[in-house]
């Protein structure tokens, strides 16, 4: 995926030595790629001669003339295919690296353009070398190998909420818009071909059906091109999902139209019956594709429920099931793209709830890697195929095509928006319409479909290909390059970069329920009502089947909260713990600032607790607070001045220290006579150990327990984690302990293993444990060592 | 007959001007109001409570309370009604109108403020102008109330984390002794500005009367 343009070179001018080396390497790869096929061409002949000679020498009388044992041999044929594939992939990856060495260029020209140019160059080089250009954009290779990773990446990470909210609009654009484009372009092209009666024109031979076929090929917006260009311009979510969703869903229309016209171009006529069959076929293709994808998605989710003991192959299930969904759909001539999207979107919420954190990261990075390489390869191959492909340039045809594409798109978008806006609540403005129209890029899918045409049925195939390539080049180069400045010029709303906060999540959920409630009061079954019904169905039945263990009951808000805390914890550890604040806004606000100062009235709980006199509590709290603050400061100075070690280790030391502190405190509490009737939790129970993990250094301030009950059930790294433990005890003993605490010094003892982790322990701690285990339990081939490794940071 | 019809029409027109609905929408809502109130002039909390579809809603109480909250009537009063008439019903509903193509930027801002104010009032139950930690905890607890025991334990932690976040974003540098009283309306606006309330907090009000289309089946 093209990353944002950025300058890696601090100086900005002149390249440093490593970068020159990289450029040299790329040139070498170029040459190697073009020269080796030459070598391949020549060497077999030589070897063939040798073999013949050997045979001639060997045959008469079986006199084996012993030739010199080949110490070094060149056998290119043996490894040719994998070698060339690897070479292409390497070239693509080096290109991606190389572009960012030239920062100015990568900010003006989108990556797709640069890649096509590189492809042109490579194709040109190969042709110059006299070699035959490999048929790289072979349709089978394209549709079976290059396209699926990109679509899977898009489908798996599809933002479901905006997609569903705008589904009506997206479908209108995808289905009606593409149909309109196809017929408008095809029809008008035919009309244009028929005029000019004066000059004898090869175009006169064109019939209506091939024109319509051509129109259907060229009319579909291409997801690869859209992704490549829109990724870099960061427009707001609505427009992005509209154009992108359209590019994904129009595949069904394209498939049906293509097959329909291809079939009947031979026959020559299309009847009404065929039209009706076409419509039915469209529904079958679209819905069938979605169904196939959904089935595979559910299978994958169900499989992931049982992978708790073999975490390493979890990502594999995701990839293989998705790919099989694609292939199965293609087998039945259903829409493979829609199957892939449906599969990814359906399985994602359940799989994410089941798999470990590491598998999640693996899936994410593999998908991004594959789709990035695929996309790069596609654009390079486009360039190569342009140099290669048989071309038949016809000025009229090509220019009319380009103009008609633009005009059809604009008219289609404007007309459809007018209709859609009657039904939308948040209307599409003119600016939005312009971006949607302008973002209708064509790409490699159109070219591959054209490539698939049979020369016998379509004698003007070359002309088609030329026209398609011209349109693709035009949209990618002209529209791709100018869309960024246009977005700036029109001041289109950009994507909001803010991280999702817990407040937003709470209020999103709150709004959902509120709007559903208001709809119910109003009495009509709207959008929210059905969404709510679906959610309840999901919670009640589906989640229980597909999600393992206790997590099936976990509400979304809590899941989000845990994810966020995890992220913060990991950030904290990576940043070296304690030295840098993990929050986006550095602030000194801590829990003590929020908690009310007045002690709440003692609630009649199962465990009766005595109340400390108010003044004493204040005093104790102040002491504790200052103690910890001093500790924190001392730790910081320890890190910066005393120890010369890398921040990673410092953070490690920090965490260990805090852990140490808490362990000592708890031990002392246990030793003291039990003032309370509350049984103190064993110091090594999983909850206690988790409690020691601070996701936030501020969390170590003492918090006044709001209900006075020292609760043991804390969530993973909540901001109040260590505090709720045995609060009352600590208040009393704090004053005696503070001197002892200060003298504790810096003992680095290895963290005690939470022995309670393996035992089932208390039932209520069970589910927390499961969460913990899922986060941590990613045993490699040797489970024990890996778990040891994981221990220090997340005990 | 003619006289009473024109009277209702002019009343509708008056309401339409004040709340921004179209007369057709008001007519539909009036029909719904009559249905809910059992053809009385006012509805009480019991009427709204009896809507079966609302039974599954975790924040049902807050929603119903919002209808009877005087603060949502744009009249600077506080307290709550015992029963509300159609006009008050409509006023509360008007908070859920979407922006149109013709809404200007300032109007959008005003619309967003109004909707946020509605939400704020729902959270700020004691009407002291701030959402305290207790009130926020209550909000999250209610949200998770349908999720059993897991929900209740986590609710406190989540509410505390959320409060911490609000405080950190709005008042980044607080001395250890300072106390963050509660979320004021400005802070509330600040933390929710990413959500674009004016485009999200709305429902579709029908111009066409669908109740007659349901063949007399008595719905919620």
* Of A293-297, A708-712, B105-109, B142-146, the least confident: A708-712
Which bin fits B59, alpha (ψ -120 to 50), beta or left (φ > 0)? alpha
Q: How far apart are CA B84 and CA B43, in angstroms?
A: 6
B144 to chain A: which residues are within 8 Å by CB?
Answer: 555, 557-558
pLDDT at A319: 94
Query: Which residues have a Cβ under 8 Å from the Cβ of A87 and sit 6 or more positions away?
Result: A29, A32, A33, A36
A520–B98 CB contact, under 8 Å: no
Q: Which pLDDT does position A184 carry in this prediction?
A: 92
Determine the Cα–Cα distance for residues A200 and A194; give it in Å rounded to an integer.
11
Neighbours of B208 (CB within 10 A): 9
| Tokens linked to A398 | 């090509």
Instruction: Name every chain A residue with its beta carbon within 8 A of the beta carbon of B183.
Output: none
Pick A755 or A74 by higher pLDDT. A74
Q: Is the dihedral of CA A521, A527, A529, A535 positive or negative?
A: negative
Q: Within an 8 Å CB–CB cutoff, is residue B44 touching chain A?
A: no
ipTM over 0.85: yes
Q: For A234-271, where are the alpha helices, taking DSSP H only? A: 237-267
What pLDDT shows up at residue A362?
92
Residue given tokens 């290669």 in the structure block: A388
Collect all residues with Cβ–Cβ distance below 8 Å to A528 and sequence separation of at least 6.
A512, A515, A516, A519, B203
State the nearest Cα–Cα gap between A721 and chain B, in angstroms: 9
- Tell me how far CA of residue A463 lies from CA of A470, A666, A696, A795, in angstroms: 11, 82, 65, 67
Number of cross-chain residue pairs from A and B with Cβ atoms under 8 Å apart = 196
Query: Mean pLDDT over residues A189-209, rounded?
Result: 73
CA distance B62 to B79: 15
Closest by CA to A502, choosing from B121, B134, B136, is B136
Alpha carbons A172 and A189: distance in angstroms, whole number: 24
Q: What is the pLDDT of residues A528-551, one digit of tens each?
A: 888 888 888 888 888 888 887 777
How far is the C-alpha of A558 from the C-alpha of B151, rounded, in Å? Answer: 8
Which among B32, B173, B203 has the least Cβ separation from residue A528? B203
Residue A411: predicted pLDDT: 94
Q: Does position A795 have pLDDT exceeding 50, yes or no? A: no
> Of A433, A441, A403, A440, nearest to A416 (Cα)?
A433
CB B191 to CB A593 under 8 A?
A: no
Per-residue pLDDT, A242: 92
Separation of alpha carbons A521 and B203, rounded Å? 11
Residue A463, classed as helix, strand or coil, is helix
B96: contact with A, CB 8 A cutoff: yes
Pick the residue from chain A with its C-alpha nearest to B177: A593
Residue from B164, B174, B175, B195 whose CB has the most chain A CBs within 10 Å, to mutate: B164
Averaged pLDDT, A177-202: 80
Query: Which whole number is the average pLDDT over A660-681?
Result: 54
Closest CA to B208 of A422, A529, A427, A168: A422
pLDDT of A198: 54
Q: What is the pLDDT of residue B44?
A: 84
Q: Are A471 and A446 in contact (CB under 8 A)?
A: yes
- Cα separation of B81 and A738, whole Å? 56
Q: Are B174 and A587 inside 8 Å of each other by CB?
A: yes
Test the A interface: residue of B25, B188, B204, B206 with most A CBs within 10 Å: B204
pLDDT (0 to 100) of residue A6: 37
The CA distance from A621 to the nearest CA of chain B, in Å, is: 11
**Gap between the Cα atoms of A83 and A634, Å rounded:** 59
Nearest to A553 among B150, B201, B219 (CB): B150
Tell me how close the Cα of A753 comes to any Cα of chain B, in angstroms. 26
Give the nearest chain A residue to B205 (CA atoms).
A522
Task: Looking at the complex, report in whole angstroms how far the Cα of residue A558 sits from the nearest Cα belonging to chain B.
Answer: 7
Residue A764: half-sphere exposure toward Cβ, Cα within 13 Å: 11
pLDDT grade, residue A310 (50/70/90)?
A: confident
Residue A370's pLDDT is what? 92
Largest Cα separation within chain B, whole Å, is 71
Of B101, B144, B163, the CB nearest to A555: B144
Contacts of A536 in chain B (CB under 8 A): 56
pLDDT tier for residue A635 given thresholds of 50, 70 and 90: very low
- Say how many residues make up chain B: 220
- Low-confidence residues of chain B: pLDDT under 70: 1-8, 147-151, 176-177, 207-220
pLDDT range class, residue A365, cuts 50, 70, 90: very high
Best-predicted range by mean pLDDT (A383-397, A723-737, A739-753): A383-397
Q: Does B29 contact A767 at a Cβ distance shorter than 8 Å?
A: no
Query: Are A537 and A485 spatial neighbours (Cβ–Cβ below 8 Å)?
Result: no
- Whole-angstrom Cα distance, residue B23 to residue B41? 19
Q: What is the pLDDT of residues A22-54, one digit of tens each?
A: 666 666 666 665 555 544 444 444 444 444 444
Cα nearest neighbour of B150 on chain A: A554
Asked if the Cβ–Cβ distance from B147 to A504 is below 8 Å, we say no
Is pLDDT larger for residue A291 or for residue A649? A291
User: How many angstroms separate the CA atoms of A115 and A372, rounded?
Assistant: 12
- Give SS3 for A408: helix
CA–CA gap between residue A424 and residue B199 (Å, rounded): 11
CB contact under 8 A, A597 and B179: yes
A695 pLDDT more than 60: no
Please judge whether B57 and A517 are an interchain contact, meaning their C-beta atoms are less than 8 angstroms apart.
yes
Query: A426, B36: Cβ pair inside 8 Å?
Result: no
Question: Cβ separation of B154 and A593 shorter than 8 Å?
Answer: no
Closest by Cβ to B180, choosing from A509, A589, A767: A589
Q: Cα–Cα–Cα angle for A195, A200, A203, nearest 5°?
A: 60
In order of A183, A565, A749, A793, B149, the CA distances from A650 in angstroms are 68, 22, 15, 12, 39
CB nearest to A501's CB, from B100, B165, B200: B165
B108 touching chain A per CB within 8 A: no
Largest CA distance in chain A: 115
Q: B89 is written with which tokens?
A: 């019903």
Task: Decide if pLDDT at A195 tops 80.
Answer: no
Give pLDDT tens digits for A52-61.
Answer: 444 444 444 4
Q: What is the pLDDT of residue A30?
A: 60
Q: pLDDT class for A416, splitting at 50, 70, 90?
A: very high
Closest residue of B to A626, CA-based?
B176
* pLDDT tens digits along A430-482: 888 999 999 889 988 888 888 888 777 777 888 888 899 999 999 999 998 89
Contact call for B195 and A426, based on CB within 8 A: no
Backbone phi, then psi, for A40, in 5-degree steps?
Answer: -65, -40
Task: Give this prediction's pTM.
Answer: 0.70
Q: Tell me: pLDDT of A332 over 70.
A: yes
Nearest CA in chain B to A550: B150
Q: Please enumerate in sequence order all residues whose Cβ is within 8 A of that of A706, keeping only pairs 6 or more positions apart, or say none.
A: A595, A596, A600, B156
How far apart are the CA of B58 and the nearest CA of chain A, in angstroms?
7
- Distance set, CA B142 to CA A462, B60, B138 (Å): 67, 9, 6
Put simply, whether B98 touches A (Cβ < 8 Å) is yes
- A39-58 burial, b at 16+ Cβ within 10 Å, e below that, comes to ebeebeeeeeeeeeeeeeee
Q: 3-state DSSP: chain B helix, strand, coil percent, rounded to 5?
A: 65, 5, 35
List the single residue in B with minimal CA-CA distance to A767. Answer: B150
Look at residue A605 in the predicted model and tell me its pLDDT.
38
Residues 6+ apart with CB under 8 A from A82: none
The predicted structure's pLDDT at residue B160: 84
Span A331-354, average pLDDT:
91
Q: Tokens in use for A279?
A: 């419509």
CB contact under 8 A, A589 and B63: no
Q: How far is Cα A438 from Cα A272, in angstroms, rounded to an integer?
A: 34
CA distance A523 to chain B (A): 6
First to last CA, chain A: 36
| H-helix segments, A268-356 | 272-304, 314-331, 336-354
> Which of A517, A532, A558 shows the shortest C-beta gap to B63?
A517
Lowest mean pLDDT among A192-206, A415-429, A438-452: A192-206
* From A201-205, A248-252, A703-707, B80-84, the region with the lowest mean pLDDT: A703-707
Q: How confident is the model at residue A595 (pLDDT cuts 50, 70, 90)?
A: low
Chain B from 63 to 92: CB within 8 A of any A CB? 63, 67
Phi-psi region of A389 (alpha: psi -120 to 50; beta: other; left: phi over 0): beta
A107-116, A618-627, B83-92: least confidently modelled range = A618-627
Mean pLDDT of A221-225: 90
Which distant-in-sequence residues (6+ apart) come within 8 Å of A97 by Cβ? A22
Whole-number pLDDT of residue A778: 46
Determine the pLDDT at residue A268.
66
Residues of B whose CB is below 8 A from A516? 57
| Cα angle value A136/A137/A138 (rounded, 5°) | 90
Are B164 and A498 in contact (CB < 8 Å)? no
Of residues A298 and B96, the one with the higher pLDDT is A298
CB distance A587–B176 less than 8 Å?
no
Confirm or reject contact between B119 and chain A (CB < 8 A): yes
Per-residue burial over B76-90, b = 16 or more CB atoms within 10 Å of its CB, e = otherwise: eeeebbeebebebbb
pLDDT digits (tens, 9 = 90+) for B189-220: 888 887 877 778 888 777 665 554 444 344 44
Cα–Cα distance measured from residue A216 to residue A706, given in angstroms and rounded to the nearest whole number: 67
Nearest CA distance, A305 vs chain B (angstrom):
21
Among A507, A625, A718, the residue with its CB nearest the CB of B192 is A507
Helix axes A430-438, A480-490, angle to 10 degrees: 170
Question: For the packed helices A647-671 and A727-743, what is the interaxial angle rounded to 10 degrees?
Answer: 120
Least confidently predicted of A31-45, A385-399, A455-469, A752-766 = A752-766
Q: What is the pLDDT of residue B81?
A: 78
pLDDT at A656 over 90: no
Average confidence (pLDDT) over A669-685: 45
What pLDDT does residue B199 have? 77
Do the Cβ atoms of B98 and A496 come within 8 Å? no
Please answer yes or no on whether B174 and A588 come within 8 Å at the CB atom. Answer: yes
Q: Give the pair of three-digit tokens for residue A197.
A: 């009666």
Per-residue pLDDT at A689: 40
What is the reported pLDDT for A211?
Answer: 87
Who among A585, A592, A720 is closest to B157 (CB)?
Answer: A720
Residues of chain B positioned with their CB less than 8 A from the CB of A561? 154, 157-158, 161
- Give the model confidence (pLDDT) of A242-274 as tens digits: 999 999 888 888 888 888 888 777 666 677 888
Choose among A521, A528, A591: nearest Cβ to B160. Answer: A591
CA B85, distance to chain mean position in Å, is 16
């Amino acid at each position: 995926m093209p990353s944002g343009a950025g300058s890696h070179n601090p100086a900005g001018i002149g390249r440093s030595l490593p970068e020159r080396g990289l450029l040299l390497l790329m040139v070498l790869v170029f040459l190697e790629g073009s020269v080796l096929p030459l070598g391949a061409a020549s060497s077999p002949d030589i070897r063939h001669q040798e073999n013949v000679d050997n045979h001639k020498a060997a045959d008469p009388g079986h006199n084996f003339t012993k030739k010199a044992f080949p110490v070094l041999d060149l056998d290119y044929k043996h490894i040719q295919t994998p070698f060339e594939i690897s070479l292409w992939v390497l070239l693509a990856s080096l290109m991606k690296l190389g572009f960012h060495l030239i920062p100015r260029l990568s900010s003006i020209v989108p990556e797709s353009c640069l890649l096509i140019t590189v492809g042109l160059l490579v194709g040109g080089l190969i042709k110059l070398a006299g070699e035959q250009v490999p048929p790289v954009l072979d349709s089978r290779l394209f549709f079976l190998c290059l396209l699926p990773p990109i679509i899977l990446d898009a489908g798996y990470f599809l933002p479901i909420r905006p997609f569903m909210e705008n589904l009506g609009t997206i479908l209108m654009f995808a289905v009606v818009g593409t149909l309109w484009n196809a017929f408008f372009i095809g029809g008008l092209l035919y009309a244009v071909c028929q005029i000019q009666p004066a000059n004898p024109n090869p175009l006169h031979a064109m019939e209506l059906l091939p024109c319509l076929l051509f129109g259907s090929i060229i009319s579909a917006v291409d997801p690869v091109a859209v992704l490549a260009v829109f990724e870099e311009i960061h427009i707001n979510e609505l427009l992005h999902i509209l154009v992108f969703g359209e590019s994904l869903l129009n595949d069904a229309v394209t498939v049906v139209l293509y097959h329909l016209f291809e079939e009947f171009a031979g026959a020559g006529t299309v009847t009404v019956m065929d039209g009706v069959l076409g419509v039915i076929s469209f529904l079958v293709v679209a819905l069938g594709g979605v169904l196939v994808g959904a089935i595979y998605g559910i299978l994958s989710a169900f499989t992931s429920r049982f992978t708790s003991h073999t975490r390493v192959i979890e990502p594999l299930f995701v990839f293989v099931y998705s790919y099989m969904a694609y292939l199965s759909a293609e087998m039945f001539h259903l829409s493979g793209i829609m199957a892939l999207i449906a599969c990814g979107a359906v399985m994602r919420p359940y799989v994410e709830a089941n798999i470990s954190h590491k598998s999640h990261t693996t899936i994410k990075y593999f998908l991004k890697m594959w789709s990035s390489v695929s996309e790069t390869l596609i654009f390079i191959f486009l360039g190569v195929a342009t140099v290669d492909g048989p071309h038949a340039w016809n000025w009229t045809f090509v220019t009319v095509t380009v103009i008609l594409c633009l005009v059809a798109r604009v008219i289609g978008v404007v007309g459809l928006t007018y209709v859609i806006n009657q039904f939308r609540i948040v209307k599409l403005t003119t600016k939005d319409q312009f971006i949607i129209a302008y973002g209708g890029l064509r790409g490699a899918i159109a070219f591959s479909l054209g490539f698939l045409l049979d020369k016998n049925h379509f004698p003007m195939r070359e002309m088609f290909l030329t026209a398609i390539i011209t349109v693709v080049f035009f949209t990618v180069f002209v529209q791709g390059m100018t869309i960024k400045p246009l977005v700036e010029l029109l001041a289109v709303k950009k994507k909001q970069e803010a991280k999702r906060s817990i407040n937003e999540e709470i209020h999103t959920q709150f709004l959902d329920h509120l709007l559903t409630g208001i709809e119910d009061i109003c009495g009509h079954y709207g959008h929210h009502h059905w969404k709510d019904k679906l959610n309840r169905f999901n919670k009640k039945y589906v989640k229980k089947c597909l999600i393992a263990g206790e997590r099936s009951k976990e509400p979304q808000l809590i899941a989000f909260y845990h994810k966020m805390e995890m992220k913060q914890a990991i950030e904290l550890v990576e940043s070296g713990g304690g030295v840098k604040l993990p929050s986006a806004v550095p602030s000194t606000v801590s829990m003590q600032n929020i908690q009310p100062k007045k002690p709440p009235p003692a609630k009649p709980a199962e465990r009766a607790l005595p109340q400390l006199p108010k003044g004493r509590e204040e005093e104790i709290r102040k002491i504790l607070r200052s103690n910890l603050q001093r500790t924190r400061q001392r730790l910081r100075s320890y890190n910066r001045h005393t120890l010369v070690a890398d921040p990673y280790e410092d953070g490690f030391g920090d965490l260990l220290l805090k852990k140490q502190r808490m362990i000592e405190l708890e031990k002392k509490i246990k030793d003291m006579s039990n003032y309370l009737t509350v049984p103190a939790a064993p110091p090594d129970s999983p909850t206690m150990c988790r409690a020691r993990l601070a996701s936030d250094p501020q969390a170590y301030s003492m918090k006044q327990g709001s209900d006075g009950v020292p609760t043991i059930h804390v969530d993973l790294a909540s901001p109040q984690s260590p505090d709720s433990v045995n609060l009352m005890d600590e208040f009393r003993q704090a004053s005696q302990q503070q001197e002892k605490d200060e003298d504790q010094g810096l003992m680095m003892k290895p963290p005690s293993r939470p022995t309670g982790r393996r035992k089932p322990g208390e039932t209520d701690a069970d589910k927390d444990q499961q969460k913990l285990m899922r986060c941590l339990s990613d045993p490699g081939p040797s489970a024990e060592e890996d778990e040891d490794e994981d221990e220090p940071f997340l005990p | 007959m003619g006289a009473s019809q024109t009277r209702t029409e002019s009343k509708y027109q008056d309401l339409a001007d004040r709340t921004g609905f179209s007369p057709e929408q008001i007519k539909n809502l009036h029909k719904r109001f009559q249905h809910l109130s059992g053809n009385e002039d006012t509805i009480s909390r019991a009427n709204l409570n009896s809507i079966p579809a609302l039974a599954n809603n975790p924040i049902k109480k807050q929603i119903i309370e919002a209808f009877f909250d005087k603060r949502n009537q744009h009249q600077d009063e506080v307290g709550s009604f015992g029963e509300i008439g159609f006009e008050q019903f409509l006023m509360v509903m008007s908070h859920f109108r979407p922006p149109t193509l013709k809404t200007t930027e300032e109007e959008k801002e005003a619309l967003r403020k109004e909707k946020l104010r509605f939400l704020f009032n729902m959270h700020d139950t004691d009407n002291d102008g701030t959402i305290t930690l207790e009130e926020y905890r209550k909000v999250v607890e209610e949200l998770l109330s349908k999720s059993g025991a897991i929900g209740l334990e986590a609710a406190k932690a989540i509410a505390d984390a959320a409060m911490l976040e609000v405080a950190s974003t709005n008042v980044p540098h607080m001395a250890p002794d300072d106390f963050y009283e509660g979320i004021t309306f400005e802070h509330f606006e600040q933390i929710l500005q990413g959500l674009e309330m004016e485009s999200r907090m709305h429902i579709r009000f029908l111009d066409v009367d669908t109740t007659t289309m349901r063949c007399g089946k008595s719905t919620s």
